[in-house]
Structure 1
């Protein structure tokens, strides 16, 4: 799925646009016991409550593709006879009315989720009459291309608030507010089936994780039995380690800066061109970047071998997961952050046998918020 398709579905989760009739919920305590379940009609909720519930669900379709949102693919064998895929299809086709399937799903999630404290499993079914879109991009709302039937699951932590002094406007008085339990934005969740090229893809799902450092592999294995996506933070750490190990003496400031700048340029160009498909780089493209930054063929081939071991030869990486928005230079005692477009301000020099990091400073220099002059 691309950003436009995710955005199209995210806009569905509004009171006036969605086709959700009811919400299934399962409240689980910190030791994995079901405290309560509910099957609540949206029509019986107030407008404010409806907007809050839809807002939580909508968050499951938020974030960055490749970082918070991951496309999962089922093997042909799973679609034909896999138990995991069959359960998801039963939930979808029954519009969550097949009670045995719903309970089996809740138990599968409870057995796989590793979360501190209580949490809430929200499960909804929606049908979307996909408007026909002409070749020129114009959408025709009165012409439906197909009906996209899907389920969305959100797993939300439930946290206890602290007692506090509260001001009651109507009474114009202060009163103590007792501790309460509040539902937080989802920690993880998924959409099934995928909405690829604005049509149903039963071979795919869109998986969400709020924390880019934690892909919740136990949950992915239990619910989908698909390869677990490498967490975005792990991708960055692995890529950085590979540069250090394979470039050796060529891993200089200038080379690392050049790699960072080229990846940032690719990200900016993709953004400026408003490309719909997520930006990814194959192993060959990454090797081309290294060569253009002055890395020798010997070290590029060493990088090639490690790439296969760490990521897999056919794995494409998102540049957004490999670099930060700012260039950061650190020593044991100093941290320097530089805007990516001004990385030229930093240089490395050896003066009288001592290694230095030099920063060109002309004006606007401050120390602890105080403007200072450099004589």
Structure 2
């Protein structure tokens, strides 16, 4: 199958002034009238059509941005005529904010890892589907309930989700954490998911005798009661 495509780079262009000259007619110093145009590295770009399943896909366009954390939404929406979707990092950060706002003081290590397990299982179950598995408000509510979040906390989900997502959905694969990272009080620990069950004991030894210790689990802040007996 032939793959014909268009690739476009949007590059900032600056004028290069080499120096100043003496203008005899005006008896003045002036910039040189001749100047070069310097093309800098691309700030945005796109490739059309996509290449999926060993064939062109005219229903999609691949967008590039120099700054992944602050993509140029005007290029996506106005130039390409596409609806802007959050980046993977944006989705993770938004999801963490929703989880923190909804669950609040019920957040602990076991709940965070349980939610991650539920999402990972959902991704695996839909791995062979043609559509990308997504998580909307209803599915997120089910995942949080199965992970142990109380009904009282879940009552806040609708407002928090709508304010953060404005009707959009998460791509499930972007929310899965392959490892567990715990940091706080000058320490940082990263383990794979296979050994995550041993982490609570390890943390307890690190924060021995300290009450209400602030700890981040995969970037989500929780508090752990200090261990009085080792």
Please state which band the TM-score falls in when normalised by the shorter chain.
Answer: 0.5 to 0.7
1:338 Cα deviation from its structure 2 partner: 1.5
Residues 106 and 149, structure 2, Cα contact 8 Å, conserved in 1: yes
Q: Which of 46, 61, 66 is the aligned partner of 1:190?
A: 46
1:29 to 2:28 alignment: no
What per-residue deviation string (whole Å, max 9, x for no partner) do you get for residues 9-31 of structure 1?
Answer: xxx6xxxx4457x9888875346
Which runs of 5 or more structure 2 residues have no equivalent in the other structure? 17-34, 215-230
Are 2:211 and 1:289 aligned?
Answer: no
**Cα deviation code 1:304-334 (max 9, x no counterpart):** 2111111023x22112322332111111411
If the length of structure 1 is used for normalisation, what is the TM-score? 0.42
The counterpart of 1:242, out of the listed 89, 98, 120, is 98
TM-score (norm 2): 0.64
**C-alpha contact (below 8 Å) 1:190/1:206 kept by paired residues:** yes
- Asked if the contact 1:27/1:34 (under 8 Å) is kept, the reply is no
Check the 8 A contact 1:213/1:232 in 2, yes or no. Answer: no
Deviation at 1:298, TM superposition (A): 1.8
Which whole-Å CA distance do the structure 1 matches of 2:12 and 2:199 have between them? 52
Q: How many residues align?
A: 191
Structure 1 alignment gaps of length 5 or more = 1-11, 37-116, 120-154, 156-186, 358-375
Match of 1:264 among 101, 111, 120: 120
Cα root mean square deviation, aligned: 4.0
SS at match of 2:84: coil
Contact 1:212 1:232 in 2 (8 A): no
Judge conservation of contact 1:215–1:229 (CA < 8 Å) in 2. no
Q: Does the Cα contact within 8 Å between 1:215 and 1:230 map onto a contact in 2?
A: no
Equivalent residue for 2:194, pick from 341, 357, 367: 341
The question of 1:300 aligning with 2:154 is answered yes
1:229 to 85, 109, 123: 85
Task: Provide the secondary structure at the position in 2 that maps to 1:230.
Answer: coil
